[in-house]
């Protein structure tokens, strides 16, 4: 996969507060194959810390993250 913004599945967790965006992302990742990329959209500022920590602990790769106007986007590659 050459395009860093490409993804296999998308989860919109806008409006959800910690820890719901992360919990929903975990469930979605469980459905994906190893190497697939999940794009997550969140509006909770705490999600930055959560996703960085989760990726490290679970062995997934946080391929990319963006923040614009209070909207956070994460691209997680499943381990």
Identify the active-site residue in 16, 18, 20, 32: 18
DSSP, residue by residue, the chain: ---TT--SEEEEETT--TTHHHHHHHHHHHHSPTT-EEEEEE--TTHHHHHHHHHHHHT-EEEEEEEETTEEEEEEE--
Active site residue 18: yes
Positions marked active-site: 18
């Amino acid at each position: 996969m050459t395009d860093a913004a490409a993804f296999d599945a998308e989860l919109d967790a806008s409006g959800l507060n910690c820890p719901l965006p992360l919990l929903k992302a975990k469930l979605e990742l469980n459905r994906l194959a190893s190497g697939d990329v999940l794009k997550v959209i969140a509006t909770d500022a705490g999600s930055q810390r959560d996703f960085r920590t989760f990726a490290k602990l679970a062995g997934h790769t946080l391929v990319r993250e963006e923040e614009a106007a209070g909207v956070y986007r994460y691209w997680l590659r499943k381990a």
